[in-house]
Chain A
Amino acid sequence: MRLTLRIWRQHGPDEPGVMTTYEVDGISEDMSFLEMLDHLNEELILGGDEPVAFDHDCREGICGACGMVINGQAHGPERTTTCQLHMRHFTDGDTIDIEPWRASAFPVIKDLVVDRSAFDRIVGSGGFISAPTGSAPEAHATPVPKAVADLAFENAECIGCGACVAACPNGSAMLFTSAKVVHLNVLPQGGPERESRVLDMIDTMDAEGFGGCTNTGECATACPKGIPLHSIATMNREYLRATIKGGQRRNS
């Protein structure tokens, strides 16, 4: 098939960007979206142009590296990651708009590549259970009800791609942060740090310049892993509980 691509090209972080139009031909419907971009890039290189920069790695939907806004939708029209989106969801002659994640907490580095290190700092501020190597008790010492383990897993599935932030009209990181808070706070092992975790992570989330939640639900719709919107409610509850209890912050 033949497609018209309008892609955000931005040479560097402090340079202005612009939507640039490219025509590509010979696209197979079996190609993944990223393979379509590979195809474009091969042509650009041979034509003496610079290829379009985009993040990608595992290409099987689990590392969370890839992500672009396709026709205004984070990761495009299917509920999956960009690398698992296939060209059969487009038709010959389509015009496709491709833009980077947009949020002030995710500055553009180049073209479609953005800096998501704010997520790492949120996790670093409390998204862990302190269990230094060697200190662990026998694994069966604390049974965990299956329902609790399943709930933790459902939230631990987050791949940190940032689609929630990209889709949210406020550039909010509530879904990402809540997924980690819920994963760890519901497990008995996460109990001792339950209050400090949620307080510290929300502090960091705010300090990184993400917007607040207005409960539009766009994040959960865009999430390729189906992290549910009520994880945000659970995090809010954890936050209120910790605040009312006068929970300590690790980072105070």
Chain B
Amino acid sequence: MADATSHATAADPTSDTASDAASGVPPTDNAAPGVIAGSRASSALSGGAAAAGDYAAYSVGVPLVDTKAPKGPIEERWKTRRFEAKLVNPANRRKYTVIVVGTGLAGGAAGATLAEQGYHVVQFCYQDSPRRAHSIAAQGGINAAKNYRNDGDSIRRLFYDTVKGGDFRARESNVHRLAETSVEIIDQCVAQGVPFAREYGGLLDTRSFGGVQVSRTFYARGQTGQQLLLGAYQALSKEIAAGHVEMHPRTEMLDLIVIDGRARGIVARDLITGRVSTYLADAVVLASGGYGNVFYLSTNAKNSNATAIWRAHRKGAYFANPCFTQIHPTCIPRSGDHQSKLTLMSESLRNDGRIWVPKAKDDNRPPAQIPEDERDYYLERIYPAFGNLVPRDIASRAAKNVCDEGRGVGPGGQGVYLDFADAIGRLGRKAVEEKYGNLFEMYERITAENPYEVPMRIYPAIHYTMGGLWVDYDLQTTVPGLFAVGEANFSDHGANRLGASALMQGLADGYFVLPATINDYLARHPHEEVAQDHPAVHEAVTAVTDRLYALLSNNGDRTPDSFHRELGELLWDECGMARTETGLRKALERIPSLREEFWRRIKVPGSGEELNQSLEKANRISDYLELAELMCLDALHRKESCGGHFREESQTDGGEALRLDESFSYAAAWEYTGAGSAPVLHREALNFEYVHPTQRSYA
């Protein structure tokens, strides 16, 4: 437990360690307080001015090289890697323990598959059941290069589309493996009983999805994520019942245990009893999802969080491309300050709906009273070729622009109309109802407006994070023995993810990639016991409990949510849909002081020895306050625009994202050096041998 003195010291900005407070360092995570405080103090002094200047003064470390991806023809690389990987004798597998954090598509699939192979799996989720992971909310579908339509699809084409869709910021080897694996995923899921949509002949139905010319998306009505997740959950449940997986629901990972440079376990808190325990293993797999909730309002689940990956980052795992976040253009706008999360409406609505705003500023007339010639169908005007069907990032930015001009509609002017009047006139209400009935119903439930009569209001929202822990071809992070799968890693989507590809990546990682590569690591590191009283274990536990104690004992005057909202708003404004150097610098200046204020004014009621949802929140927010800074720095350093990252300084004459391949054709992996202190940038150069980078154009 933290002693009261150190806590009081850090909270008092007038004390000697003022630099700690100024950079918003949690008062209790100092393994060696003297050293860390000292180094920070010196950097703060050397900067002389605002803390932002210091943080932005990152240094560049040695470039990263993915040593695991084999050379040779791209079609052969995954086969080669699997053949070259060492194997663990089946009889020996039960001696190995693998920790899996998270039970979404990637984690659930990995846990079940590793257990089937014979490993002892210890798995965690913060939800009350593994079935509730947020993969469940994915609507649209899952891509696979089955070519059942005979429409020219192939592994090669899926590979090509994904690299291009990612705006040439993903690794070719990984993406090709993803496309190869996609085919097996569908087989696997069908065998598990996933009720995909079928045609009358009994064969699987597919549909096409944004920005692709083939029909390769398999779906289960609007609930594909739910059905795929339940498939993985059921496989996992079987292994839990058989005793091969030790499942810890309502248990949250709060730190990583690294011993002799290798990941050997985690520290986790039982959310019901508050008990902080250590779990030791031969390898740790993080499948904890993305960090979209750093924005407070997003389409993520309320409790989705970045704590597991951020704690791993603090323990040495590099964090790659944190500024690559995806914004989805068709979400239901916020209805007021009470808004707690945003709800996505399927992108398919843009197939028939027309997007418009009034031509005049501050036009408050109801939409029906705005005559046709006073409406601006701005997507059709600016992008005549693609119209309302431009890619996600372009549609989102265009909506932001018209709202910034004061032409937005609805409460706070943060919305644009998505109008089905034409479609209803052309196809008839019945046809529209058949296509979109359930979406219209959902919209009406939330907004109490009938979209058959009044145009829908939509606005972009944070949806997915392409960035994450840096991993090599084996999905291993820079901490040996620590693996990251699914949205938690950064590897496959580059700067922008295509629709229906998140489910594909999660399941590919979980069912097929990780189980093949982790073998190699385990085979090379025979099991060795770690003593529960190892100093590294003790240190990790102390850091966790001290931090919880600091949160609980502060007794300030602001709630966790109030900080989260403030941080979210700041990020949305400065590191959201469009980013500028000035805005990012402003955010980098504000975040440390917000962090300092957090540790000074946070109020967490209750105790740590019980279910305490405020404590959970506050603890997660304390990590967001550090992660946000890295996101802004990454966005600041990447002076180009690409995919979901739009720097206003880097655009074409037509206002489109302008990539700067000569300077930025790399993945930016950041090394942690301490809270609020400048990280080290390690670049991993991206080479394109098969898909030649081109500039996107949709005009």
Contacts and interface: CB of A to CB of B under 8 A. Distances in A.
Q: CB–CB under 8 A between A and B in the complex? A: yes
Interface of A: 11-12, 28-32, 34-35, 38-39, 41-42, 44-46, 48-51, 53, 55-60, 62-65, 78, 80, 84, 86, 88, 109-110, 113, 115-117, 119-121, 123-125, 127-140, 142-146, 149-150, 152-153, 156-157, 159-160, 183-184, 187, 189-190
A34 B445 CA distance: 15
Given A131-B192, A138-B187, A63 B335 contact: no
B132 A65 contact: yes
Contacts of B304: 57
Contacts of A86: 445-446, 448
B241 A136 contact: no
18 contacts: A31-B335, A44-B605, A46-B557, A49-B605, A51-B614, A59-B341, A59-B343, A88-B448, A116-B128, A117-B129, A124-B241, A131-B188, A133-B112, A134-B188, A143-B201, A143-B202, A144-B198, A153-B197
Contact of A57 (B127, B220, B557): B127
A168 B196 CA distance: 31
Contacts of A30: 335-336, 338, 447-448
Interface stretch (B222-230, B389-397, B486-494, B495-503): B222-230
A62 B138 CA distance: 10
A125 B234 CA distance: 10
B83 interface: no
A219 B247 CA distance: 29
A110 B611 contact: yes
A57 B611 contact: no
A38 B116 contact: no
B130 A120 contact: yes
Contacts of A132: 113, 116
Contact of A84 (B136, B198, B445, B603): B445
Contact of A42 (B109, B448, B515, B561): B561
B137 interface: yes
B234 A129 contact: yes
Contacts of A190: 193
Given A129-B234, A140-B204, A156-B230, A63 B190 contact: no
B338 A63 contact: no
Interface in B283-305: 299, 301-304
B127 A184 contact: no
Nearest to A132: B116
Contacts of B539: none
Contacts of A140: 148, 203-204
A33 B204 CA distance: 39
Interface string B606-633: 1000110110000000000000000000
Contacts of B611: 53, 109-110, 113
Contact of B234 (A29, A113, A128): A128
A25 B137 CA distance: 32
Interface string B108-146: 010011001000000000011111101011000000001
A63 B188 contact: no
Contacts of A131: 188, 191-192, 235
Contact of A153 (B113, B187, B220, B301): B220
A35 B339 contact: yes
B361 interface: no
Given A128-B234, A129-B191, A149-B197, A60 B557 contact: no
A34 B562 CA distance: 17
B435 interface: no
B128 to A, nearest CB: 6
A146 B198 contact: yes
A160 B131 CA distance: 8
B200 A57 contact: no
A78 B446 CA distance: 12
A156 B231 CA distance: 10
A60 B515 contact: no
Contacts of A11: 610
Nearest to B131: A160
A144 B559 CA distance: 53
A133 B201 contact: no
